[in-house]
Chain A
């Protein structure tokens, strides 16, 4: 069974793509102006002293959460949230384990509460004032797909606007010997149960009995982030970056110089875009994205 939700807000942050406008151009393969890479974002939701102490994962999550919410025009108080991260903040885990191996009594209370997987969820609620339900989850390689599924499920099951945030950080210290995540990447989507003024896309989702592979990355900008544990999100953001006119030009691909990979064209036969991610060995999450500009005009309201 297929369910429909609406995308009302989109955000992305990485050191080389600090914001959706830059990311949108870069993920389409367009040349972007040279940029001094940012070391970490500075979400205005946190006071300056909190920002200084906050782990990267919290800053990343709050940065994209605020932008996706602002783009949507929804009020934070009515929006539930799903925070998906494969590893949480790896620098915090490294520091925590280092302290425990040295003098465990030196562990600071702040470090401890930064170490919970729902740290970003908690700071989001405090910073935005939203008392709506908020969850934090992980599913190893299936983390992004599982988070996207949960956001779609909550939006559909309870007719509730849901903010999805996914982010991962870079392994540090001894953790680098077991953890492959590199770089910083955060993405966010605001999903709404009904079409509103800010709705840019219709998103049809379903869970199917099929074994699929993680979709490939097309753009050089996305490929440069392939080692981040949230990189599985990027194919969706590449699709959202390509606007309707660009998509309608397929299969000429004239406007996508950085996407020489012709394997993506058969999957995009019309204005819609189909994407799928594995959820387990035999189940998968399938999306059909329709840019609203490409939809048939709606009958005027009576």
Chain B
């Protein structure tokens, strides 16, 4: 059944910290210059030849004393993201406007604080259990980074962790939109947070999906992904604004746990859902942020979908060559790139990719933009596809307000 159009929601505030730095300006600078923001892996204790999108500031980040019980890499990343672009100040204002109980939180993460458990297993206490400093049930739970953000923002509305691998924080927008549509809350903090950890790096190594060089989305010689870390935030409210969430679509491939449906049918169903909720056609989309991981199969399937469904003049780009693949945060990073494009007209290029893979066909070669440019964009879409065949497409637009 085709979903009905939804009322647009307004994007009230945004914040981002990732490998490009803290704040949306650092992202904009990186998008303009396509500078190298990935680095050779120096995160894992043992050698693992790959490149990572590491947030350099995390090692020296200290949480305020009142929040110190949450200290870990993921919470520090979230804390930097909350400071970025004074997101925390915008939420404080929303809390005053609506009351803390009327502001919800939906946070997408894949690994959350698993890094804490990894650390505990590497250095167990004498009784074989977790060392005293890490012996916390709440800290060693997938909801931990969400509970940290809830406490840091003093929110008392409904609060949930969405964890569907790399589509997590895109789906967070869909869940938030439904809460607002049914008037359960007056504002929702949508978030995506993931920090570097052993499980993700060695897990992708086990799947032979880690590129030994910086990831090159849609390049002929692409060899896999570069893992990154990020914390992104968006505050959504009902009503029209300059920047709006127009639609979202979710689907499942029902095909395989770690490879996409060969014809991209799941991804296409998510696109159709998003278009129907936005009440527009694919031809109305000016800018597309691709999932673009740099793996052979993901890029193949996504390129075919884009060539099949989007107009040849769409400006499509992939930015994981700047941020790395930030896992559960990837959806909101894509959303923030799209919002930046709508606000400033800054259309990203595809960092690290020198030439489009000719095997992806002439239409896609025309759609994929390797260099950044400035143009007027009224509608931007973002793709997020995750493990388990989990897909989500978001559509944002400029409002007339």
Contacts and interface: CB of A to CB of B under 8 A. Distances in A.
B182 A153 contact: yes
Interface string A84-127: 00111000010011101100110111011101111101110110
A237 to B, nearest CB: 22
Interface string B232-276: 000000000000000000111111111000000110010001000
B105 to A, nearest CB: 9
Given A178-B130, A209-B101, A88 B142 contact: yes
Given A104-B198, A119-B388, A135 B175 contact: yes
Given A121-B388, A122-B390, A138-B143, A174 B265 contact: no
Interface in B187-236: 198-199, 202-207
Contacts of B46: 104-105
B202 A139 contact: no
B252 A121 contact: yes
A180 B253 CA distance: 35
A97 B143 contact: no
B200 to A, nearest CB: 9
B178 interface: yes
Nearest to B116: A178
Interface-central residue, A116, A132, A138, A149, by most chain B CB under 10 Å: A116
Contacts of B202: 100, 104-105, 107, 112
A101 B130 CA distance: 13
Interface stretch (B67-75, B80-88, B117-125, B295-303): B117-125
Given A100-B202, A282-B100, A179 B157 contact: no
A118 B388 contact: yes
Contacts of B183: 1
A105 B205 contact: yes
Interface-central residue, A100, A107, A132, A156, by most chain B CB under 10 Å: A100
B124 A174 contact: yes
A174 B161 contact: no
A142 B136 CA distance: 18
Contact of B129 (A93, A131, A158, A176): A176
Given A118-B390, A280-B159, A282-B156, A178 B137 contact: yes
B146 interface: yes
Contacts of A138: 141-143, 160-161, 163
A135 B270 CA distance: 13
Interface size range on A against B: 35 or more
Given A100-B118, A138-B142, A279 B198 contact: no
B252 A116 contact: no
A283 B105 CA distance: 13
A3 B182 CA distance: 10
A68 B23 CA distance: 47
A3 B245 CA distance: 25
Contact of B118 (A87, A101, A113): A101
Q: Which 9 residue pairs across A and B have the least CB separation, nearest first?
A: A177-B129, A122-B388, A112-B203, A117-B163, A133-B250, A125-B252, A97-B121, A101-B121, A125-B254
Interface of A: 1, 3, 78, 86-88, 93, 96-98, 100-101, 104-105, 107-109, 111-113, 115-119, 121-123, 125-126, 128-140, 142-143, 146, 149-150, 153-154, 156-160, 174-180, 207, 209, 279-283
Given A118-B386, A175-B117, 15 more contacts: A86-B141, A93-B117, A97-B118, A107-B205, A112-B204, A116-B387, A118-B163, A118-B388, A135-B162, A139-B143, A139-B146, A143-B143, A176-B129, A178-B136, A207-B158
